[in-house]
Structure 1
């Protein structure tokens, strides 16, 4: 299965206040009173007035994010970027301003068939406080993986789940479209757990009869 993430994560009230007047900001609930803001081209353009820039090659330690956040992160060679706007620099400055109200993280990840990468960066008090960090091997302890380390710096606390990534619920959706739907539907971070519990209760009901499948057309495939 594949996984893709491009999002800002911070305290839910911080993000709610900073995005209240935006048409393209969709907040998805996470655990521990955090929220996830999917970063889309429409959101970047609304925030900065310009289309986002992306690197042309594969992300690396030198260019940790596919989304260019600033020239310093992307390198000074304009040939390493596609798109001609200044949205990356403006977005970085914007997240720095937001961080005057609390820590803010930008997270990226992309995996398919077990291969991929993740990267993260944290702002606090109006400046970069940690990162950017990039990893494509993930052979260090989980706590040192970029996203886990960034979430810990936001204040994520240990719990029943294996790491901060799962504790906050970043595994619940697998791409930007999923997070947008999650936010628009107002789902909680425990939505899938609640569905599983409901399913288990139904299966344990002695009066529950097996549902007989109908024709293929009834499954929505016709």
Structure 2
């Protein structure tokens, strides 16, 4: 199974304020009052006035992102960070192999990263995306790491996150569906009928 991510993550109110007038911005709700902004070619064009560039030979430690963070795009995200920390996250995995990268801005400057990792042989807390999310202020909870705590595992690619945002789904949507299904299965109308009079069983 594959997984692909190219998104900005920040406080939901910060992103709502910065994207309110954009035609191609779709916000997907995450847990802990964060939101995810899928980065599409149309969004980059709208933000910078030019189409995006992509690394031709794939990301690496020296060039950690597939999307080239051009000066206009990086400067815009830095400006957003004057209202709170902002992270750009990338990941791509197929069959357990892949990479993840992240960078965080705060107060108008890069505050951490960029960081690239295609081995992920360090403790989970030190993986690029988890480290970036911690710097955003994600609190530990019941899930295994900040990535899962926010719900970044819920969709598998940009199209999934766009649909998630357009439908206004919460980060707990799938859990809510499962709970609803279990409730229906265990509701009174789904329970076996209790034994009636003996006559009901043909013994009267």
* TM-score, normalization by structure 2: 0.92
| Cα distance in 2 between the residues matched to 1:9 and 1:207 | 43
The Cα shift of 1:58 comes to: 1.9
SS of aligned partner of 2:42: helix
**Is 2:138 the partner of 1:156?**
yes
Instruction: Tell me what 2:53 maps to.
Output: 53
The Cα shift of 1:205 comes to: 3.2
Q: Work out the number of aligned pairs and report it.
A: 191
Provide structure 1 residue ranges, at least 5 long, that are not aligned to the other structure.
70-87, 210-222
The Cα shift of 1:208 comes to: 3.0
Deviations 1:22-77 (A, max 9, x none): 000000000000000000000000000000000001211011000011xxxxxxxx
The Cα shift of 1:198 comes to: 1.1
CA RMSD of aligned residues (A): 1.0
Deviations 1:144-172 (A, max 9, x none): 00000000000000001000000001011
Matches within 5 A, 1:140-179: 140-179=122-161
Provide structure 2 residue ranges, at least 5 long, that are not aligned to the other structure.
192-204
Instruction: Tell me what 1:121 maps to.
Output: 103
Deviations 1:1-41 (A, max 9, x none): 11000000000000000000000000000000000000000
Matches within 5 A, 1:86-125: 88-125=70-107
Deviations 1:63-122 (A, max 9, x none): 1000011xxxxxxxxxxxxxxxxxx22110000000011000000000010100000000
* TM-score, normalization by structure 1: 0.84
Matches within 5 A, 1:12-31: 12-31=12-31
